[in-house]
Amino acid sequence: MGRREIHLRLNGGDRRVEVDDQTLLIELVRSLGLVGTKLSCDTQVCGACTMLLDSRPVSSCTTLAIEADGKPVETIEGLADGAKLHPLQEAFIERFAFQCGYCTPGMIVSAKALLEAHPQPDVAKVRHWMEGNICRCTGYQTIVDAVLDAADKMRSAR
C-alpha cells in the first residue's frame, strides 16, 4: 500500500521495481528510458500511449503501474528483433503510414494486438479496431493498408 514492489515483465525482461500506487504505467515505463510510447490526450481517446498489458491494448496514461504486477507488458520497443523490424514496422515504412510519427508507436502496438486476435482481418475489422487511434497526418488509408500488408506478410511467413 502506498508504495510497493512489483514484478515488471517489460518486453520480455524480468525485474522488480518499486512504484507508488498512483504511478501510471506510462510514467513508469518512460522513467526507465523507454520513451517510444507517447503521452498525448491523457484521456484514453487518442491511443498514442497504447501498450499491451497481458496481450490486451490499454491506455498506459490511465492504467496504474501496479496493474502490471506479474503480467507481460509490451511497448513499441519490444517489437523489433535486434536490427530486424517487425513486419508491422516494415509495412508502415513501405506504405508511408506516418508523417510526424507521434501516433505511430501506439498505432503499431494496437495493430499488433489486432493481428494476434484476428490474423486475417478485413478492412472493416481493421478500421473498427483502430478507430481509437487518432492520426492527424495521414488520413488513415495508408495505415489501414499497412496493417493489411503486414497481416499478409505474417501469414505467408507462418
Partner 1 sequence: MLRRFDVHKVTSVAEALDLRQRFGADAAIYAGGTELLLAMKMGVARWPNLIDVKPIASLADISATRDTLRIGATATHWDIERNTEVRRVLPALAQLEANVANVRVRAAGTLAGNLAFGEPHADPPSLLVALGARVLLEGKVGSRSLPVAEFITGMYETALAADEIILAIEIPLPARDVRVAYVKFQILERPSVGVAAVATVRDGRFVGSPGVVVGAVDEMPRRVSTSQFAGADAHDVGTREAIAEAAGAAVEPTADLAGDVEYKRHLVGVFAQRALASLVATAA
Name the site residues for partner 1 (rule: CB under 8 A).
1-2, 20-22, 24, 27, 42-45, 47, 50, 56-59, 62-64, 66, 110, 113, 129, 131-133
Q: Kindly tell me which of 58 and 146 has the beta carbon lying closer to ligand FAD.
A: 58
Minimum Å gap between C-beta 67 and partner 1 is 8
Instruction: Name which of 41 and 93 has its Cβ closer to ligand FAD.
Output: 41
CB of 78 to partner 1, least distance (A): 18
**Residue (34 or 51) nearer to ligand FAD, CB:** 51
How many Å apart are CA 81 and CA 67, to the nearest integer?
Answer: 26
Straight-line distance from the first to the last Cα atom of the chain, in angstroms, rounded to the nearest whole number: 45
Q: Any contact of residue 44 with ligand FAD (CB under 6 A)? A: yes
Q: How far is CA 152 from CA 52, 55, 105, 122, 145, in A?
A: 22, 21, 20, 11, 11
Question: How, if at all, do strands 15-20 and 3-10 pair?
Answer: antiparallel
For ligand FAD, give the closer residue by CB, 45 or 117. Answer: 45
3-state secondary structure string across 44-100: CCCCCCEEEECCEEEEHHHCEHHHHCCCEEECHHHCCECCECCHHHHHHHHCCCCCC
Report the nearest approach of partner 1 to the CB of residue 23 (Å): 8
Q: How far is the CB of 55 from ligand FAD (least distance, A)?
A: 19
* CA atoms of 86 and 127, how far apart (whole Å): 21
Which residue in 3, 13, 15, 45 binds ligand FAD (CB under 6 A)?
Answer: 45
